[in-house]
Structure 1
């Protein structure tokens, strides 16, 4: 990828990020616990990474604002509209897959 300038690389990464966020907004059927169990991250992780990147740049982005950027609406609204109760199987898988500190 040495043929790309740093600006081009950043633009491509930003486009891929925006596409990922759009995809996650459309796939409301995929629960965060499913993402955590399969991929080790979820929408909340993504919003935290966004907020942390803003903090590193000295930009004021709140937890609520970063979640709204990922979810496309306030987090509580998304939870009320789309989040179901996790099954016993999902909870067991989460307990097995979650790193213990």
Structure 2
């Protein structure tokens, strides 16, 4: 497989993952994703931002999140985010430290 085809297939897979998380399963909470998988929608937005920066494109965290979520983060939270139990928050803090480190949330 040539590089262009591989890149196109990878981009299509990313778009399908994004659709799954944003349209098919908005009920799945970021905190649960982080606790189980070590990444969440915000991580995907950050990776998008980092990839843009590698190509000389200036994009801040909020711009990256709005691009990934398809709406401002505040709107997503109001529509889909639920309160997390203290146990989930504790597990999240551990998962975040292990998988993301000192980077901004």
Which bin holds the TM-score, normalised by the shorter protein? 0.7 to 0.9
TM-score, L = length of structure 1: 0.87
How far does residue 85 in structure 1 lie from its aligned partner after superposition?
Answer: 1.1
TM-score between both structures, scaled by the size of structure 2: 0.84
Q: Match of 2:4?
A: 7
Q: Quote the offset at 1:18 in angstroms.
A: 0.4
1:45 to 20, 43, 47: 43
Structure 1 stretches of 5 or more lacking a match? Answer: none
Superposition CA RMSD, Å: 1.6
Alpha-carbon distance between aligned partners in 1 of 2:91 and 2:60, rounded to the nearest angstrom: 31
Q: Which runs of 5+ in 2 are unaligned?
A: none
Alignment partner of 2:52: what SS? helix
**Which stretch has the larger CA shift, 90-99 or 60-69?**
90-99
Distance 1:96 1:73 in 2: 28
Structure whose alpha-carbon radius of gyration is higher = 1
User: Are 1:31 and 2:29 matched, yes or no?
Assistant: yes
- The answer on 1:19 being equivalent to 2:16 is yes
